[in-house]
A = this chain, B = another copy of it.
Amino acid sequence: MTTAGKETPRERYRAQLRAEVKERAWEQIAAAGAPGLSLNAIAKQMGMSGPALYRYFAGRDELITELIRDAYRSLADAIRTAAAAGADLAGLGHALRAWARDDPQRYFLVYGTPVPGYHAPDDITEIASEIMGALLDAAQSDGTAVETPADGHPDARLEAHLAEHRQWADGHPAPPAALRRALRFWTRLHGILSLELAGHFTGMGFDPAELYDSELRHLPQ
């Protein structure tokens, strides 16, 4: 992580302090969730008095947005790394679950309850697109024998719809069946992870990993 040495001492100090603030912010979020994050408390923890941090972050919202950005980036990294190692859809699924369980609140910063007014900045949606791109790549490679389902098949109608509404694939050459697999990967795995990390499975007695793996086995279909 040794960045270019072309930065002034001030810039280096600034970057270092911003990083420390973000680290403490993650700790606070892990302890009490995003609403419990207090800029003031972080400042005191770091030995400086309240408003000092406003030199480094325009406000609480900007800090949170920054954390969301970092969360997206780390997810993209995890997916990219797995894909680069030649992982198929199931492999990406395992990477996703590992990333999610590594820091549940980070997961919820990306996929949790949205703030009604909030719109993510463009560079964040770009990262989301990159992730979707990696999913589409894998979904295309995972293609099994016959790709176009018969008319009576449960997937026929969805694939017909996706074939005509594929702008989200942004020029990706994946066939409709791959679009369907990528979308299903996303929604099905998120469904399990979200409930698992939120604790809705605790006390039920079964192993979420079994459920997750069973969904992964269904994906290539």
**A residues whose Cβ falls under 8 Å from a Cβ of B:** 30-36, 105, 108, 111-117, 128, 154-155, 157-158, 161-162, 165-168, 183, 186-192, 194-195, 198-200, 203-207, 210-211, 213-215, 217-218, 221
Q: Interface residues of A: mostly helix, strand, loop or mixed?
A: helix
Q: Is the CB of A111 within 8 A of B198?
A: yes
A210-B191 Cα distance, complex, nearest whole Å: 17
A-B contact pairs, 28 of them (CB 8 A): A32-B117, A33-B114, A33-B116, A34-B35, A35-B35, A36-B115, A111-B194, A113-B113, A114-B199, A128-B200, A154-B217, A154-B218, A155-B214, A157-B214, A166-B205, A166-B206, A167-B204, A167-B205, A168-B205, A168-B206, A186-B191, A186-B195, A187-B195, A187-B211, A188-B191, A189-B191, A190-B195, A191-B194
Q: Is the CB of A105 within 8 A of B111?
A: no
A116 CB → nearest B CB, Å: 6
Number of copies: 2
Q: Is the CB of A204 within 8 A of B111?
A: no
A92 CB → nearest B CB, Å: 16
Q: Is the CB of B194 within 8 A of A115?
A: no
> Which of A105, A187, A204, A217 has the most chain B CB atoms inside 10 A of its CB?
A187
